[in-house]
Structure formats: structure tokens, C-alpha cells
Structure 1
């Protein structure tokens, strides 16, 4: 009976060590797996189109992971460089004019291009800030990602009331891939200092993983004496 606590303590220590090791190894293993899966996926798409004389694997007779991905990145960069000059813009405009004449293709192309331009544009403020809005009722607050100011017809109709409206995306917990697009008055949003990545962690974890925060307006703390002690 005396060794029972020791056995429980040893089992507890082994369990804690295992959980600690799992927390350390699992994110690393998942990251490595996702990275190599993406590299293999990119290679499977690009490598078959590489001429044999330009394929390093032909000369070394071994499989080099990431060759297709690297070549694709170089080609995309060269195309982007050429697309900035007059000749490149002319070719791109000619290609887009052809796509615009295809009934189904033009809709897909226009939508994808608009999404990519919005996400990749350096001046874009989409999903660069987090905020809080009162939802679903006053006194209850929900985390949202701020997309930007309302535009187009929505801005013309809503801003007519005299207050600027902002587009926000409110995802659910714990899967932030779905959610609601809402237009909220700017004065009704509390903008947070946390990054969208930190907001996503807070959201996915159900509030368990909160980012560290230090108030920018901190002043010298006022020391309050314990109860029962009255300053003379």
C-alpha cells in the first residue's frame, strides 16, 4: 500500500512528460508534413511540363523535392517583371480581351482576379485589423475581422444616413472558414491592437489562447493600502 502513491506519481510524471512531448512534436510534425505535401503537390503539377534538358533531376538521377515549385516561382516572377513594361502590358491586355469574349471563362477570370488583387494589393486594408462589435445583443461582444470601408452601391445607400459604414467579417468558433459579412457603423467598432493571426488563434481556441497585451496608455500605478490601514 505504501508504494501506491509512488506508482501514481510516476504514472502522472510519465503522462505529463508524454503530453509535453506531444505539444512540442505535434506542431512541428504537422508543419513539416504540410510543407512537404504542398511541395509535392506543386512538383506534380509543374515538373511534367519542364523540358528534360532543363530538369536538374535528369542530370543528378535523383528526385529533388521543390524543383517544380522553385521553377514555378521563378517563372511567375519573370512574368510579373515582363508584365510591368509596355510590351508585357500589351500582351496581358490582349490575352484578357480574349478571355472577356468567353461567356463562362470571363466570369471566373474576373472574379478570381478581383479577389487576388484585393488580397495581395499592398495598399489593401482587408483583414489587417481585428475589432469588437456588440452582437447578438447590447452588452455582448463578438470578435470580427475588419475588411475595409463599405464601397459601391452599399456605401452610397448606407452612408446616406450620415455615418460611415465598415465591412466586417464575423467567423464562428472554432472553424473560422464560414461566417457573416456585416456592415457596421465605424463608431460601433472597437478596434483591437492584436493581429489577425492572434485573433484567429483566440477564435479557434475558444478564448483559451489570448495574446499578451500591454496598455499603451499605462501610467504610474497608484498603490492602494490594504484594508485596515489608513494613511495618517
Structure 2
């Protein structure tokens, strides 16, 4: 009985968690959308309130509108006029006290992580951390620059070492490039390996080296 119960649990638990997370995300977006509708109702005529109430009762509409908003915004800022307005918007927020310290920091991180031309999280490596003889998986996020780079001898790389099982928190390290052992596994495979605490191992075999890695180095 115990074996069958655990086998059934392993089948339904991932699906239940996935559905729960999706329902939470949809509910959050719908809640924000309904809050916006409530604010708009005070400035619209009574005839439009019924339509807004009907729209607020449609499940998942907040997610659809969010996707449309992202698409329209992306189309707007990728042309010359939109890029100019985006530059003015960034300049405005960068001069507001308190706001600029948060906005600029978040924008720098998001531009680094999600830029199509960036190299952040493009390569998984193994490093000895937190002491010699103890190995962990880290992700190359770039190279030290400025005063930090001038204070480091030789070639160094910036690394992010995620924690397990929550990879959204971790440690920032700067280590010599020679101290990092490149891995052939992809970033997704490395994340799965970390989140599962080593249970979900990546497929064995020699794969194409990750972008930015030296194919002649042993990983």
C-alpha cells in the first residue's frame, strides 16, 4: 500500500503544484485588473459600469491583457520614436530621489539577465566552494570591471552560486577563470540539477560546449 501511495503521489504532486502556481498567477493578475476597473468606474458613466463589471468577472482576462500590454509596449519601444520616449522616461526616473536608487538597480540587473545580446547565465561551471575539495555549480554572469577588475590579478569571472532548492537566492563570487571547470550541460539542466538537490541528473554524454566556453578545456 505504501509503495502504491507514493507512486500515485509522484504522479499527481507535480501536476497539482503546477496547477496551483498557475491559478495563483492568474488570480493575482485578475485581482490587479479588477482593482483597476474599480478605479475607472468612478469616472465613467453608469452605462459603462455594467460592461466593466462583466469584464471583471471574466477569469483569465487580466493575464490576456497583460500579455497584450507587453506586446504593444515591446512593439512601441523597438522603433525610433518609442526608443526616444523610453530614453526620456528612464532619464526622468533616474533623477527622482529614492526612486532612482531602486529603478536604476533593477533596470541594470534586468537588462543584464534578459538582454538578447548579454552573456549572463549562458554558461554553467563547477567551482570549489565554500572550501577546497567541496564542489558546486555556478553560473557565469560576466567579468569584473572598473576598479574591481584593476584590483584583481589575472583574468577573473563573475559567478552566481544559487542555493538549493531555491535558486532565486545565492552568492556572488569573483574567481579566477582557471579555477572554473566548464560544463557541457545547459543552464536549464544545471538549474534542474540544483533544484532537485542532485536527484535529477543531466543526461550523460559529451554535448556541444556552452556559448562562451573554451571547447579545448576539460569540463
Give the TM interval when normalised to the shorter protein: 0.7 to 0.9
The CA deviation at 1:47 is: 3.6
Indicate whether 1:170 and 2:170 are aligned: no
Q: Is the 8 A contact 2:33 2:56 kept in 1?
A: no
Q: Superposition RMSD on alpha carbons, in Å? A: 2.7
SS of 1:103's equivalent in the other structure is: coil
Tell me which of the two structures has the higher relative contact order, counting C-alpha pairs closer than 8 angstroms and 6 or more residues apart.
Answer: 2
Indicate whether 1:21 and 2:8 are aligned: yes
SS of 1:125's equivalent in the other structure is: coil
Q: 1:209 aligns with which of 196, 200, 207?
A: 200
1:102 is matched with which residue? 96
Indicate whether 1:187 and 2:178 are aligned: yes
1:35 is matched with which residue? 22
Gaps of 5+ in 2: 42-47, 209-219
Q: Is the 8 A contact 2:185 2:207 kept in 1?
A: no
The range that moved more, 109-118 or 43-52, is 43-52
1:135 is matched with which residue? 129
Q: TM-score, normalised by structure 1?
A: 0.74
Superposed CA deviations along residues 130-152 of structure 1, whole A, max 9, x for unmatched, are 21112344443222122122233
Indicate whether 1:45 and 2:39 are aligned: no
Matched residue count? 200
SS of 2:98's equivalent in the other structure is: helix
Q: Larger radius of gyration, structure 1 or 2?
A: 1
Superposed CA deviations along residues 148-202 of structure 1, whole A, max 9, x for unmatched, are 22233222322xx3x2111112234444343321111111111112223322332
